[in-house]
Amino acid sequence: MNREKLLKNMTDQVKEAQLKLGYAKETVRLYYPVDSLNTILGSNAKDDQEMLTLLRKAFEAKSSLGELHFYSHAGRVEISIPPEGSQWVHEQVETPAFLKDLIQLFQEHHACTLEEICQVFENHGHEYVCEKMPEGSDFDYAIHFKDPSIDEYYYCIHMEMGHTIYHRFTESDYQAML
C-alpha cells in the first residue's frame, strides 16, 4: 500500500485550500471515492468499509499530518486531518510557485481567459497540453504539464456566465472522468 503517495495527495489538497482560502489551524476533511483511493494506494478495496479497514491499519502510526481519522460518508471515504496537520502543511510545505500564480489569476480575474491560464502554464514549464474536453463534459478544457515534476495534476476549466473555474484531478481520476 502506497501510504506516502496518499500523504502527498492530502498535503497537496490542504496546501491548495490554504492558498485559496487562507490558513486556519483547524480540522480539514477530505473526501475520496474508493476508486480514487485504490488508484493512489495501489490497493483493491471493494467498498468504503473495506477501504476504511485498510486505511486504519496503514495509518495506525501518526503521520506528518497528525493522527488521521477515517469515516464512511455517502459511499465515499472521509479523511479527517487534525489542526496540527493543517499547521504542519502551512509551516513546513513550500508553496508551489505555479499553483500560487494560477490561484492568483483566478482570484483576480473571475472571467479569466484560456489564453491567460495557458500563460501561467507557459511561465512555469513551457511544455504543457491543452485539450478541448469532449462534448457533454462538465468542463471546456483540460490542461496539464507534460513533465509531471512541475505539477502532476490535470486542471479542468469551465467557463460560464462570466466566470471561469477550475477543478484539479489526478491523472487517473481525469482519465476515469472521460
pLDDT category, 55, cuts 50, 70, 90?
very high
Maximum CA pair distance of the chain? 48
Residues 88 and 109 grouped into a single domain = no
Domain end, chosen from 66, 92, 118, is at: 92
Q: Write down the pLDDT at residue 1.
A: 81
Return the C-alpha cell found at 139: 468542463
- Cα end-to-end distance, the chain, whole Å: 26
Identify which of 41, 177, 136, 105 has the alpha carbon closest to the alpha carbon of residue 168: 177
Q: Let me know: does 78 contact 29? Beta carbons within 8 Å.
A: yes
Same domain, 66 and 101: no
pLDDT at position 73: 86
Q: Does 74 score more than 90 pLDDT?
A: no
Predicted confidence band of residue 162 (pLDDT cuts 50, 70, 90): confident
Separation between Cα atoms, residue 112 and residue 103, nearest integer Å: 11
pLDDT number for residue 86 = 97
At 178 the pLDDT is: 86
| Mean pLDDT computed over every residue of the chain | 95
Looking at residues 77-81, what average pLDDT do you find?
A: 98
Cβ-proximal residues to 158 (8 Å cutoff; 6+ apart), any chain: 138, 139, 140, 164, 165, 166, 167
User: Which domain does 20 fall in, by range?
Assistant: 3-92
150 is written with which cell numbers?
Answer: 512541475
DSSP state of 63: B
Mode of pairing for the β-strands spanning 69-73 and 128-132: unpaired
* pLDDT for 75: 84
Residues 55 and 119 placed together within one structural domain of the fold: no
Shared domain for 88 and 101, answered yes or no, is no
User: Can you give the pLDDT at residue 166?
Assistant: 97
Last residue of a domain, one of 39, 57, 92: 92
Summarize pLDDT for 128-150 with one digit per residue, the tens.
Answer: 999 999 999 999 999 999 999 99
> Is 102 found in the same domain as 37?
no
Q: Which of 25, 57, 92 is the last residue of a domain?
A: 92
Residue 23 shares a structural domain with residue 41: yes
